[in-house]
């Protein structure tokens, strides 16, 4: 069978230590399913700047291009050198650059609160209903993230001679960009509870009106899927008031950034949530970028405190979407489910009120999941 070629970019903060556990679990999967997995690690983010002077070193980018997919940790350390130009900072120079370079337009962010972790959800029990299970489908290569013009300029200073600056960002979407992400939303909804809530701001934005029109048209190809439109401000409110009403939430880039983080807060812990960023489907699976929902968490980095589950579940999405290895993906997801129901908890999901819970560190959690494969 073919070799799976994975570029593993751990990045900064807790990135390296959660990546270590994810690779441990991947090796267990490799053995169990008799796969050949070729994992090559390379620096990115501040680690890239330190190693090769760039957040995305040329060698790292080359490796990504030669691989089937990217398993990503996280990048960005708010306290590192504030004088470095914004275009060269890890967020823009590595993360946004990779999204654009590989046309990763479809970002899937599942939020699922395991019933054992109900206590970790900030909502009152009765709001959790029979369980929160939301998939945010976020457009990832358009909108205000990349639209031009995007600049800061000096404008006429007036009589007072004070320097006045004007910042401009541009939100742009075209019909085909909205169509392709809408198809992703409707297709994934078919594998779930068959409901799409499309988020926009059609009462204010030109983009909102176009978004709503195009999504409505695409929906006609999926008569079995229920479509609902919701203004983004109401969406932010409804997520808190009644999250169980949502199945798939379809969002443009910036709204998806905001609402997926809000939804993630309902999932008990960011440390549990994986994500997948996909390009167009090729014939043999698709190139993908897999990363945990949380950030670099510098405050707990290097202390064996981070929850590695988000990174581990990201490898499951990788096996499923890029390599079409659904059994292997399920093996990982089931192993995670098992250790959770066995009561293993990193600090972020631990509650003293749980009688059978046992607090563990990053490596112990990774070991247990690898053992459960």
Ligand X SMILES: CC(C)[C@H](C(=O)O)[C@@H](O)C(=O)O
Q: Which residues are catalytic?
A: 145, 201, 233, 257, 261
Per the CB < 8 A criterion, the answer to whether 275 and 314 are in contact is yes
Among its own copies, ligand X, none, the one that 164 touches (CB under a kind-dependent 5 to 8 A) is its own copies
Decide if residue 240 touches its own copies (CB under 8 A): yes
What, of its own copies, ligand X, none, does residue 174 touch, CB below 5 to 8 Å by kind? its own copies
One DSSP character per residue, 284-330 reads TB--EEEEESS---GGGTTTT-S--HHHHHHHHHHHHHTT--HHHHH
- 18, 23, 53, 343 from 305: Cα distances, Å: 10, 18, 29, 16
CB 201 within 8 A of CB 231: yes
> Per CB under 8 A, does 371 bind its own copies?
no
Contact 113, 121 (CB under 8 A): yes
Q: Which of residues 92-131 bind its own copies (CB under 8 A)?
A: 92, 96, 121-125, 127
Query: Considering beta carbons, is residue 103 or 363 the nearer one to ligand X?
Result: 103
Rule CB under 8 A: choose which of 241, 284, 334, 356 binds its own copies: 241
Name which of residues 82 to 141 contact ligand X (CB under 6 A): 91, 95
Q: How far is the CB of 336 from its own copies (least distance, A)?
A: 22
∠ CA 155-78-305, nearest 5°, is 160
166 belongs to the binding site for its own copies (CB under 8 A)? yes
Contact 313, 272 (CB under 8 A): yes
Is residue 180 involved in binding its own copies (CB under 8 A)? Answer: no
CB of 69 to its own copies, least distance (A): 24
Structure tokens at 16: 């390296």
Q: Which residues contact 4 (CB under 8 A, 6 or more apart)?
A: 35, 36, 37, 38, 68, 323
Q: Which residues bind ligand X (CB under 6 A)?
A: 76, 91, 95, 203-204, 233, 257
Residues lying near its own copies in the complex (CB under 8 A): 76, 86, 89, 91-92, 96, 121-125, 127, 144-145, 147, 150-152, 155, 162-176, 201-207, 209-211, 232-234, 236-241, 254-255, 257-262, 264-266, 270
């Amino acid at each position: 069978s073919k070799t799976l070629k994975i570029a593993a970019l751990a990045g900064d903060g807790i990135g390296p230590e959660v990546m270590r556990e994810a690779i441990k679990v991947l090796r267990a999967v490799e053995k169990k399913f008799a796969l050949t997995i070729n994992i090559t690690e390379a620096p990115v983010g501040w680690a890239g700047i330190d190693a090769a002077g760039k957040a995305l070193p040329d060698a790292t980018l080359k490796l990504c291009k030669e691989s089937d997919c990217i398993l990503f940790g996280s990048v960005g350390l708010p306290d590192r050198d504030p004088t470095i130009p914004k275009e060269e900072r890890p967020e823009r120079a590595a993360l946004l650059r990779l999204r654009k370079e590989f046309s990763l337009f479809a970002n899937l962010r599942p939020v699922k609160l395991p019933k054992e972790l109900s206590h970790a959800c900030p909502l009152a029990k009765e709001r959790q209903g029979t369980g929160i299970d939301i998939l945010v489908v976020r457009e990832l290569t358009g909108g205000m993230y990349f639209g031009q013009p995007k600049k800061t300029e000096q404008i006429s200073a007036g009589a007072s001679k004070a320097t006045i600056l004007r910042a401009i960002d541009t939100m742009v979407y075209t019909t085909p960009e909205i169509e392709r992400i809408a198809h992703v939303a409707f297709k994934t909804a078919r594998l779930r509870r068959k409901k799409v809530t499309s988020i926009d701001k059609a009462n204010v934005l030109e983009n909102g009106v176009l978004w709503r029109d195009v999504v409505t048209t695409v929906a006609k190809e999926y008569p079995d899927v229920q479509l609902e439109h919701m203004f983004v401000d109401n969406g932010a409110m409804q997520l808190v008031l009644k999250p169980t009403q949502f199945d798939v939430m379809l969002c443009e880039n910036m709204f998806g950034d905001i609402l997926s983080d809000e939804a993630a807060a309902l999932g008990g812990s960011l440390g549990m949530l994986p994500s997948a960023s996909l390009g167009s489907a090729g014939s043999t699976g698709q190139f993908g970028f897999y990363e945990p929902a949380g950030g670099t968490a510098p405050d707990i980095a290097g202390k064996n405190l981070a929850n590695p589950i988000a990174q581990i579940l990201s490898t499951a999405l990788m096996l499923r979407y890029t390599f079409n290895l659904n059994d292997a993906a399920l093996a990982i997801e089931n192993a995670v489910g098992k250790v959770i129901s066995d009561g293993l908890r990193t600090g972020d999901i631990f509650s003293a009120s749980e009688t059978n819970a046992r607090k563990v560190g990053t490596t112990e959690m990774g070991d247990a999941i690898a053992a459960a494969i």
